[in-house]
Chains A and B, each alone.
Chain A
Amino acid sequence: MNTAIIATLLLVLLGLAYQTGWSRSRRLAPAGETKLHSRPVYHGALAAIWTLVPALLIFALWALFGETASRAYLLAQLPPDVLALGSAELESTLRRIRQIESGFGVVGDALPWENQAAQALREFSTLTYAAVIAAAAGTGALALWLANRRISLRLRARNEVERVVSAAMITCSVVAILTTAGIVASLLFEALRFFSFVSPIDFFFGTVWNPGFSTTGQGAAGEYGLLPLLWGTLMVASIAILVALPIGLMTAIYLTQYASQRTRSTVKPVIEILAGIPTIVYGFFALVTVGPFLAGVGDTLGIDIRATSALTAGIVMGIMIIPFISSLSDDIIRQVPRAMRDGSLGLGATQSETIKRVILPAALPGIVGAFLLAVSRAIGETMIVVLAAGNSPFLRLNPGEPVSTVTVTIVNQLTGDTDFASPQSLVAFALGLTLFIMTLILNVAALYIVRRYREQYE
């Protein structure tokens, strides 16, 4: 209801402003006589911008400070003995009054002063609401009047609108930077809080992961060794790469060098389907199909392979990464100049010799870049390992045993927990920071290599 009224108001302002700006500029310069500097469209747009921006600012201010103001007003209405209460009880009283105000009943009967306060609050809310709407409409109208007065033959409305558009575009581009800044800041800030509980040395070089529970209220009791998790992460990622790299690379080679156009155009999209499947689906696939299958294979061979293990998670993750490696390598191999290939074939080398001795060495930097990106992908993958790796944070060599990884532990430590004060949940941010730095190094290295490679053949 509120939102609808505000939206309607803004739309009306928008339409009105645009229309007046447009028609006023039109009247100034009837077709074919004098010339406007900017076309009426721009005058309309400029008037609309002038009108909407102040109105929006007022609503934004209200959204930011309205809550604080109404709280202050409500506190002023309460009897002094209530104000003297502890903060927890005060909060619950405030909540009660708000409930009474909103018209929902409360448990028990409302006290007279509660009713009074609720009544006052209701009046206050209605009043501020009306005031804000009036203020927004008023400033909008005022700004529209000012904007209208400015309209003249020589007003450079187009240039002004374009400046606004370009400011908007720059703001949008900065969002990406803000995101990175937000990631770095939040991870660093929370990780530092974690390191006030646990020393970084214990965290980065500890070999035991046993964080205990936050509910026991023992503070930092528990051990937060990163190494078992890192080991699990590396083991799963290596298995994934061992599966994905040969299959992905050979697929790319075959599709670029041997396959007919028709085969290529059917096989490539089918393999790329794998890239579009959500990771939770892979996790489920690992859990119900691949895991039991591997355990069965282990049984027949007499090796102990658990259904949820590093091997299960790694193989399925490898399947997930195949299209990633194959399409990246595909692009890279196709960038190798045709002349190199033709030269080698012309000298009598077979196709496979050309590929192995000419094309692959030429494409090697690019493939290394693809490989690094794939590793970064594997390290950061979460759902497959949550479901299929078994969550057992110990340093073990055997890939048939369950492991735990950095990502799984982040999920375990933070899921459903909003208590940001215990080291048990804060450790998730320290782990996240580790993960972010690892993938950042891999990504930047890979991007650098791939870029250099592109330049080499351009």
Chain B
Amino acid sequence: MKSRSMRLVQGAAVASTLAASVFTFVGGTAGVANAAAKKYTVDYVVGAASDPFFISMRVGATAEANKLGIKLVWQGNPSVYSSATQIPIVQNLLATAPNALVLAPTDTKALQPLVAQYVSKKIPVFNVDSGDANQSNITAWVTGNNIQGGKAAADALAAAIGYAKHCTSSSKCVVAIGVSSITTSTDAARLQGFAAEVKAKYPNIKALNPIVSNSQPAVATSGFKQDLSANKVAGIFAIDGTDLEGASQAILTAGSAGKNIKVVGYDAYATTIKSMQAGKISAIISQQPALEGKDIIDAVYAKLTGKGKIAHLTTLANVVLTPANCAMLCAKYVYKAA
């Protein structure tokens, strides 16, 4: 009797686990747009599927796929932006033999062997947002111009801290930086653009080593607090939304010490735009994820149907949003919710 009840409890535990997993899977990652009656099936694999950036991209890509009669299979780890979690997904999808693969690689090199396997099976591979270091197997790549975005961020931050007035060679202005990952091409490009612009135009800015938040706001907050405590920080460059959240929080809890710190950061989430309007952020660098999603689906369609030209590389400009131009631009560039 006892062993029977124990088996029942064990069964219930396993069933609840499966239910939770299915619930998570359905809510977090997978999605098939209009599965029936579509001519082409395109697998679309992103980094962290729950990131508002990728949610906005999904809105643009799904709308375009529906218009063109493409069945879109959307995949990605719910929260972890890592090649370790992305590789198994891409590997499993190979067996489903899609007509094309759209991939936002989480690492510039780690996905390349898998991409080669797709290409060997005559499945064209496209990059969106981040890209592989070796583009020889990639049919087309649509991305934001992250180097330009990094440079624009440096200009916006220099203007916000009053570079000409306050930063001198004997008293350099210290700037803290936060990134989510240093092995992603987008983050690396933004850092590169920012560093190049600082070196070329703002020699009296001292940039601290970047804080790596691994997409965790609390880690970013803690790191920025250390930077604020150790240095007289004049400004912060937050390379994505997570770090922007962390920077705002660190400044908020720093009290009077955080009063004059200027923040420039990536990603036009509804919440960050609200913070900018409240005067807590000096400028936001916005990408165009919905447009990236639309453009890559157009490229896929052109390849599959042979209709239209395909540009190997399409770079969409990053846009600088400031309190001055927000009334005109923010509504257009804010990341769309699902």
**Chains A and B are bound partners:** no
Give me the interface of A with B, judged by CB distance under 8 Å: none
